[in-house]
Amino acid sequence: MTVAQIDRFIGELDAQDAPPKHISLLGGEPTVHPDFETILLRLVEHVMHSPACSAIDVVTNGRGRRSRDFLKDYKGHPNVRFHVSPKHGHPKIEYFLPFNHAPVDEDGFSAEVALCGCRYQVFLGLGLTPFGYYHCPIAGGGIDRVLGLDLGKKNFPTADDKFESQRKSLCIYCGFLMATKEMVERSFAYCDVATREKPRISEAWRNAYEKYRLRAVSLSRY
Ligand code: SF4
């Protein structure tokens, strides 16, 4: 996202009666963004005056010079919390949810199931990408970015927005939709559950990636 988009986001937060209680910066790897520090400081400035939210959470892999430098520079900062992925030091991930196993490829799947999304939303909350708001970050950053449906909302969602069209169109591709509560908790904890199968990529995703390779996806910007 650009600094201008972050400024716009902060302006939208300021206008909310009930702004979010948590703001997290996720990637990819957020610290490699060329304006990462400017963005972080803009958000810190915001939370310092916000009664709802007191810190910015940054999820980083803790690798690379930039990530390590930021971890050092911001250690102990009262308004910044770095969360270093426990993957660091565990090169072989033995448990991972099958994101690319699209529920829509399952026999008898009904899109109605997607209307509620999945348990990940409880952990992740709303997602804002350069292309707008999504009901969860994975819907925007992982799915619409590839499918190119351009479903990102360009304004802060109202409290009664149920995101039905995003869920119907995007969650049907998301393997997390079928995850049980236990699976979600395990994937967050990176538990060593021995599933050594290759990740499954179902037909809908194979087709989507093939199209993605052949044509540029164009999404309108937030
Ligand atoms: S199914 Fe996937 S896209 Fe839908 S809410 Fe869950 S994680 Fe997000």
DSSP 7-59: HHHHHHHHT-SS--S-EEE-SS-GGGSTTHHHHHHHHHHHHHT-SS---EEEE
| Inside any domain, residue 210 | yes
Residue nearest to atom 3 of ligand 1 (CA): 139
If you take atom 4 of ligand 1, which residue's CA is the nearest one?
Answer: 171
The structure tokens listed for 68 are 């390590």
| HSE, side-chain direction, 13 A CA sphere, residue 5 | 15
Residues 118 and 59 in one domain: no
Q: Are residues 53 and 137 in the same domain?
A: no
Alpha-carbon torsion (16, 83, 147, 177), positive or negative: negative
Ligand 1 pocket residue status of 100, Cβ below 6 Å: no
pTM of the model: 0.89
Task: Using the atom order of ligand 1, give the atom closest to the CA of residue 143.
Answer: 3
End-to-end Cα separation, the chain, in angstroms: 9
Judgement on whether residues 20 and 49 belong to the same structural domain of the protein: yes
Burial of 30 (0-12, 13-18, 19+ CB in 10 A): buried
Domain final position from 50, 84, 118: 84
For the chain, list the strands marked E by DSSP: 23-25, 56-60, 80-84, 127-129, 132-134
Contact, 219 vs 133, CB < 8 A?
no
8 A C-beta contact, residue 111 and residue 172: yes
- Cα separation, 165 vs 114, in Å, equals 10
- Whether residue 15 sits in one domain with residue 52: yes
Structure tokens at 195: 């599933």
Å from CA of 42 to ligand 1 middle: 29
Task: Give the range of the structural domain holding residue 201, as residue numbers without chain letter.
Answer: 103-214
* Ligand 1 proximity of 173 Cβ (cutoff 6 Å): no
> What is the mean pLDDT, run by run of 10 residues, along the chain of 222 residues?
98 93 92 97 95 92 92 94 72 65 89 83 90 96 96 96 94 86 60 51 95 94 98
Are 135 and 45 found together in one domain? no
Q: Is the CB of 219 under 6 A from ligand 1?
A: no
Q: Looking at residue 191, what is its pLDDT?
A: 41
Nearest CA to ligand 1 atom 1: 177
Residue 191, token pair as written in the block: 């538990």
Is residue 16 in a domain? yes
Q: Which mutation among 109, 118, 151, 173 tests ligand 1's pocket best, with the greatest number of atoms within 8 A of CB?
A: 118
CA 92, chain centre distance (Å): 22
**pLDDT at residue 95 in the model:** 56
Q: What is the pLDDT at residue 216?
A: 87
Cis peptide before 28 (omega within 30 of 0): yes
147 lines ligand 1 (CB under 6 A): no
Number of independent structural domains in the chain: 2
d(C-alpha 133, C-alpha 125), whole Å: 11
Pair (209, 110) in one structural domain: yes
Hey, which of 104, 120, 151 would you mutate to test ligand 1's pocket, going by the most ligand atoms within 8 Å of its Cβ? 120
**Residue 19, both tokens:** 């702004």
The reply to whether 98 falls in a domain is: no
For residues 80 and 181, state if they share a domain: no
Q: Which residues of 195-221 are buried (b: 16+ CB within 10 A; e: fewer)?
A: eeeeeebbebbeebeeeeeeeeeebee
Flag whether 92 is in a domain.
Answer: no
pLDDT at 116: 83
Q: Is residue 221 part of a domain?
A: no
- Does 59 share its domain with 111? no
Same domain as 152, residue 66:
no
Q: Structure tokens of 198?
A: 């290759």
Asked whether residue 158 is assigned to any structural domain, the reply reads yes
Measure 68 CA to ligand 1 centroid, in angstroms.
31
**10 C-alpha to ligand 1 centroid (Å):** 25
